[in-house]
Amino acid sequence: MTSIETGRAETRTITLTAKPESVVAYLSDARHLPEWAPGFAPAVEHDHDDVWRIPGEGGARQVVVKVAKDHGVVDFVSADDPNLGLFARVVPNLTGAELIFSLFFPEETEPAAVDAQMAVVDEELKAVRERVEA
């Protein structure tokens, strides 16, 4: 029997008063990344189609922004490995929306590194809320 490495999944959510369509529209525009995820994307440049370049000291990274507006899906995944990235879901709640961010970490990731990354995710969720509820 072969062992399958599943890694570690972490999910955070935040309640928003904004309509789900507004949240999806905001997130799906990659030009907003530096506003709510400046640590990940201090700047973005459009490459082609749904591919964006994020400049960095070690060279630019390419990120694909996968959007299914009707389903509330906005994923930001590595162009090199579509299993790596931030997977976002926007679902309606009773009066607004729930914004759900999920990330996956390899099994060998140190717990402290996961905790640090998820603290950043918590701040990113709050930053999205500030912008879509303004």
- The whole-angstrom separation of Cα 108 and Cα 67 is 30
Q: Is residue 15 within 8 Å of 98, Cβ to Cβ?
A: yes
Short-list 4, 6, 33, 23, CA closest to 91: 23
pLDDT for the residue 4: 56
pTM of the model: 0.91
Q: For 71-95, what is each residue's pLDDT tens digit?
A: 999 999 999 999 899 999 999 999 9
Residue-range domains of the chain with CATH: 8-39+66-132 (3.30.530.20)
pLDDT for the residue 57: 83
Edge-to-edge strand ranges of the sheet holding 73-78: 8-16, 97-105, 85-92, 73-78, 61-68, 51-54, 45-48
pLDDT for the residue 56: 85
Burial class (CB in 10 A: 0-12, 13-18, 19+), 49: exposed
The residue-averaged pLDDT of 26-32 equals 97
Bridge partners for 53 per DSSP: 45, 62
